[in-house]
Each structure stands twice: as C-alpha cells, then as structure tokens.
C-alpha cells in the first residue's frame, strides 16, 4: 500500500458503516479495501478483454460447451452416467 493521505469524500455514512461492519474493519479500512477491489476488478476486465482480442481460450481438452444447449446436454449426459 502506498502512502496514506486524508481525502475529503462525500459518502453515505450508513452505507460506509454497514460496509465496515460486514468486513469487520474500520470505516477507513473498508473504503481502502473496496478501492483495492475496484482497481483489481478493472485489471481483470482488461486482461479478459486482451484475451478476447487475441482470440479467446482454446478448448484443448474439448470440455467447454459451445452454447447453452450443449452445456445442458453435457449436464444431462453426466447425470445419466
């Protein structure tokens, strides 16, 4: 984590309290965690976009269904075995 600085943010205090309660942290730590989560989520989306631009994932084992109908067929087949 980088250097911490005090920032003047306008936030809904009830929502910040609830977030902190759910995470078992202080309100400041809860906000820092959510910022870290949002930044990581953006990096993940960028990685998936780059992967899609390169042609996606090759199904080298032939296990990924092509569409929903195939997925349902695969599930039905597995349950029957």
* 3-17 residue pLDDT tens: 999 999 999 999 999
**Does residue 72 form part of some domain?**
yes
The rounded distance, in Å, linking the Cα atoms of 17 and 43 is: 27
**Does residue 8 form part of some domain?**
no
Structural domains of the chain, count: 1
Range of the domain at 17: 13-80
Residues in the chain: 81
**pLDDT digit string, tens, across residues 37-69:** 999 999 999 998 998 888 887 888 888 777 665
**Does residue 50 form part of some domain?**
yes
DSSP single-letter state for residue 26 = -
**Does residue 6 form part of some domain?**
no
Burial of 56 (0-12, 13-18, 19+ CB in 10 A): exposed
């Amino acid at each position: 984590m980088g250097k911490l600085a005090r920032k003047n943010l306008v936030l809904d205090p009830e929502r910040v309290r609830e977030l902190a309660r759910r995470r078992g942290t202080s309100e400041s730590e809860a906000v820092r965690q959510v910022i870290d989560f949002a930044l990581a989520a953006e990096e993940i989306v960028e990685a998936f976009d780059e992967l899609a631009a390169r042609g996606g994932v090759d199904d080298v084992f032939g296990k990924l269904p092509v569409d929903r109908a195939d997925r349902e067929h695969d599930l039905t087949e597995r349950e029957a075995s």
